[in-house]
Amino acid sequence: MLMVRNLFLVATLAFLFGCGAVTRRPDIDEGEVAAEANRMYEMVVGRDQQMAKRLGDISTPLLINNADLCESKTRYVVAMAARNLEDFRGRRRDVMESVYELDERIRVTQVGREGPAHISGIREGDVILAVNDIQTPRGMAASAFFKVHVTPLVEAGKPIKFSLLRKAEKITALVQPVMACDYPVRLLTNGDIQAYATGTSITVYTGLMSAFQDDNILGMVVGHEMAHNIMGHREKKQLELWKDIYIMKVLNGATGTNAGTVYANFSYLDSSVDYEFEADYVGLYLTARAGLDYEGAPEFLRKLALDSPGAINRSSTHPKLAERFVAQEAAIAEIRKKTALGQPLIPEMKIESAEKKPTMKDGWAPVAVGLGMGN
């Protein structure tokens, strides 16, 4: 009897909720579906290639021209990527072969603007015939060849001779590696308008690059995230978090209330706002030192205010937009003054001691005391 009732219930539910669509869908040719899927994959790969090139051109001068501020967190680079077809799999491999004509030969796929490879004359699409007169292999052996014959030379900062084929012309380029900040800038396929610093690298979402087509804005974003790394904000916040958790437990236990929790929340927000001010300040210096346009940063905040008017006079993990605008204007005035006087573009530090030279991670000069305008 129970089985009959269950079968009746299933039949009733199927009748009530199994109606589905009532219109007739046009017949679809599976061949056309496959062709459209290929076109979409080509669009995705093409977009990613263009964005990677754009991000590399922006980040290369930032990383190289600020190496002295990164202190021990540096490495030698040539700002160049080389690949062949064996470095790709699946649909991406098909697209790289059909659209970008990638084959078994090792080919330059990316050159960072103003980097050593770019300065030496190397360009995207060049086929690498030999390295220091040693012929490059084809196929799967190419990656291993680069690890043995190129990577150690780059890491040691030694010059590298590349024999190249550009269309039908054979050319030679001598590349001298230079020191750069060791904060790799990575592109992540994600539609969110986001970028973040991990302490060891920088990640930029494709959604942010689509939203901000202006390279000057992108440069300021990368400079801001780079400043978070240089100033050690991730490590400092981790230490502060442990401290706040301990104080929270002590206060909650001593008072029998959530006073410690309230304290921890305010402490976290306060430090986050301070770090964002610092990343704005130092980031403007990094951008200026890289030869990028930094003076449009405050105007960009006004554009943000149009879409987020609530943030004009309200702060959470980030400062109020109005405060950030005024602070950035002051920082820009400071950079202009130093440039006019021929002074080094070095952010002002809080610590001033004859016994201890301040480092970048010691702290910055807040806007409230004039951002080091020579007072």
DSSP string, 216-241: HHHHHHHHHHHHHHHTTHHHHHHHHH
Average predicted confidence (pLDDT) for the chain: 83
Structural contact between residues 206 and 51, judged by C-beta atoms closer than 8 angstroms: yes
Domain with 110 in it: what CATH number?
2.30.42.10
Q: Are residues 174 and 226 in the same domain?
A: no
Handedness of CA 27, 33, 35, 39 (dihedral sign): positive
Q: Per-residue confidence at 133, pLDDT binned at 50, 70, 90?
A: very high
Instruction: Using alpha carbons, list the distances in angstroms from residue 324 to 116, 118, 333, 366.
Output: 36, 36, 14, 12
| pLDDT at position 299 | 87
Per residue in 137-181, pLDDT tens?
998 898 889 889 999 999 999 999 999 999 999 999 999 999 999
Q: Are residues 292 and 354 in the same domain?
A: yes
Q: Would you say residue 288 lies in a domain? A: yes
Per residue in 276-311, pLDDT tens?
999 999 999 999 999 999 998 888 888 888 888 888
Q: Are residues 156 and 116 in the same domain?
A: yes
Q: Which residue, among 208, 173, 205, 202, has the nearest Cα to 190 in the 3D structure?
A: 205
Q: Would you say residue 215 lies in a domain? A: yes
Residue 369 clears pLDDT 70, i.e. is over it: no
Q: Would you say residue 39 lies in a domain? A: no
Q: Which residue has the tokens 């994600």?
A: 190
Q: Would you say residue 53 lies in a domain? A: no
DSSP string, 62-88: HHHHTGGGGTTSEEEE--EEEE-GGG-
- Percent of the chain past pLDDT 90, that is, above it, reads 53
Residue 344 clears pLDDT 90, i.e. is over it: yes
| pLDDT at position 1 | 59
Largest alpha-carbon pair distance within the chain? 96
What's the total number of domains in the chain? 2
Q: For residue 343, what are the contacts with CB-CB under 8 A and spacing of at least 6? A: 337
Q: Which residue, among 303, 321, 300, has the nearest Cα to 312 in the 3D structure?
A: 321
**Cα–Cα dist 249/26, whole Å:** 64
Q: Are residues 115 and 229 in the same domain?
A: no
DSSP code at position 370: T
Q: Are residues 177 and 262 in the same domain?
A: no
| pLDDT at position 238 | 67
Rounded to two decimals, the pTM is 0.80
Q: Which residue has the tokens 């051109």?
A: 57
Q: Are residues 227 and 306 in the same domain?
A: yes
Domain boundary among 181, 202, 222: 181
Query: Who wins on pLDDT, 319 or 6?
Result: 319
Q: Which residue, among 198, 268, 270, has the nearest Cα to 228 in the 3D structure?
A: 198
Query: Who wins on pLDDT, 211 or 18?
Result: 211
Q: Would you say residue 43 lies in a domain? A: no
Per residue in 218-262, pLDDT tens?
999 999 999 999 998 888 766 655 455 545 555 556 665 655 454
Q: Are residues 124 and 229 in the same domain?
A: no
Residue 88 clears pLDDT 60, i.e. is over it: yes
Q: Are residues 361 and 247 in the same domain?
A: yes
Domain boundary among 130, 162, 181: 181
Domain boundary among 138, 164, 181: 181
Q: Are residues 341 and 278 in the same domain?
A: yes
Domain with 82 in it:
74-181
Q: Are residues 140 and 216 in the same domain?
A: no
